[in-house]
Amino acid sequence: KQEVTQIPAALSVPEGENLVLNCSFTDSAIYNLQWFRQDPGKGLTSLLLIQSSQREQTSGRLNASLDKSSGRSTLYIAASQPGDSATYLCAGGTSYGKLTFGQGTILTVHP
């Protein structure tokens, strides 16, 4: 059974800082690893999807890495902005689409 853990549970940083969010998973037979963003009272928005054969994915100021052997993924956010404030969730995916989510990291970027 896949279990996903995210550290830290909450993070507060000043605007402009580079930051790293961590995600660990127990089952290395992961099909893909996905990062989502959730704004208060809203659904989830997909940020990055890394296939098991890939090491990293980039989109704008976001970079996500995947290390299956150690059971870890990181989300790197460069030059953080107040608009980046949200809850960030990682999820391990199976080949048939089932996602197992971590509990999320609440990010606050203050001006």
Partner 1 sequence: EAGVAQSPRYKIIEKRQSVAFWCNPISGHATLYWYQQILGQGPKLLIQFQNNGVVDDSQLPKDRFSAERLKGVDSTLKIQPAKLEDSAVYLCASNRDSQETQYFGPGTRLLVL
Residues lying near partner 1 in the complex (CB under 8 A) are found at 4, 31-32, 34, 36, 41-46, 49, 89, 91, 93, 95-104
CB distance 5 to 71 below 8 Å: no
Nearer to partner 1, 18 or 26 (CB): 26
Give the separation between CA 87 and CA 8, rounded to whole angstroms. Answer: 11
Give the separation between CA 92 and CA 24, rounded to whole angstroms. Answer: 9
Give the pair of three-digit tokens for residue 61: 């100021």
Nearer to partner 1, 97 or 111 (CB): 97
Residue type, 49: L
CB of 111 to partner 1, least distance (A): 26
Nearer to partner 1, 53 or 111 (CB): 53
Nearer to partner 1, 71 or 104 (CB): 104
| Closest-CA residue to 14 (of 83, 105, 80) | 80
- The answer to whether the bond into 40 is cis (omega within 30° of 0) is no
